[in-house]
Amino acid sequence: MDWSLILDPWSFAKSQRRNTAAVSPLAGCPLLCYLVNAYATPLSKNESSVMADSTQTTKVSREDLKPGEVLCQYCTARCCRYFALPIEKPKDHEDYDYIRWYLVHGRASVFVEEGTWYLMVHTDCKHLMADNRCGAYETRPQICRDYTTENCEYDDDWVYEQYFETPEQIAEYMDAVLPTKGGESIRSQRPDPLQVLA
């Protein structure tokens, strides 16, 4: 397994598209189980307040940066708050059910960019400090060293072709693009409507 895919934040999805080898949802299952479960714990009050305080940065446009300033000084460290792994494009009910499984764990989403499907795990880097700076800057991983702000998501103008946050969304999408198998759905049956009392 190429471990850089696991650590890679936004740059894999944006700047390394030339590597089109997709990761099977089955092949990475034990690793993904660990990653999703390890980071799917709710935020503590302290963590929540640090995140709230860390978003109080004044936003400036790229063009308004003064000489010697870097964009990261004004950013909320978005690239340090998740990582994305490529997954195979779902082709059948079983593939969609695996994606549903990813999404029931919380702090995960799935997006499509230029036809490639990705699992995004929303989790802060353990070295991210309250001021949105790196607490291990001198020893940060190579992926972080290679990442630049040239095409980063600072400007809030990034749009995904498709974005799924809940298992219900992926189930509805599957129902729309795949024929049902034997007339059944992976979603729960709708409850009987309530009777109107006269």
Instruction: Dump pLDDT digits (tens) for 58-71.
Output: 678 888 888 888 88
What pLDDT is stored for residue 154 in this prediction?
Answer: 81
* Residue 196: inside a domain: no
Residue 113 domain-assigned? Answer: yes
Q: Is residue 100 part of a domain?
A: yes
Q: How many domains does the chain have?
A: 1
- Judge residue 92's burial from the number of C-beta atoms within 10 Å of its C-beta, 0-12 exposed, 13-18 middle, 19 or more buried: exposed
* pLDDT for residue 55: 46
pTM score of the predicted model: 0.59
Place of tokens 């850089």: 4
**Is 26 a residue whose pLDDT tops 90?**
no
Average of per-residue pLDDT across 153-181: 87
pLDDT beyond 60 at 138:
yes
Q: Map residue 111 onto helix, strand or coil.
A: strand
Q: What per-residue confidence (pLDDT) applies to 92? A: 94
Residue 132 · residue 57 · CB < 8 Å: yes
**Residue 53 located in a structural domain:** yes
Please report, for the chain, how many H helices and E strands are present, in that order.
7, 4
Q: What is the mean pLDDT of the chain?
A: 74
Per-residue pLDDT at 113 exceeds 70: yes
pLDDT of 198 reads: 63
> Could you list the residue range(s) of the whole structural domain that residue 123 is in?
4-177
Most confident option among 8-17, 33-42, 60-69, 106-115: 106-115
User: Rounded to whole angstroms, what are the CA distances from 174 to 23, 83, 93, 160?
Assistant: 20, 25, 7, 18
Q: Is residue 183 part of a domain?
A: no
The answer to whether position 195 is within a domain reads no
User: Which tokens go with 194?
Assistant: 């309530």
Asked whether residue 188 is assigned to any structural domain, the reply reads: no
Q: Residue 143 domain-assigned?
A: yes
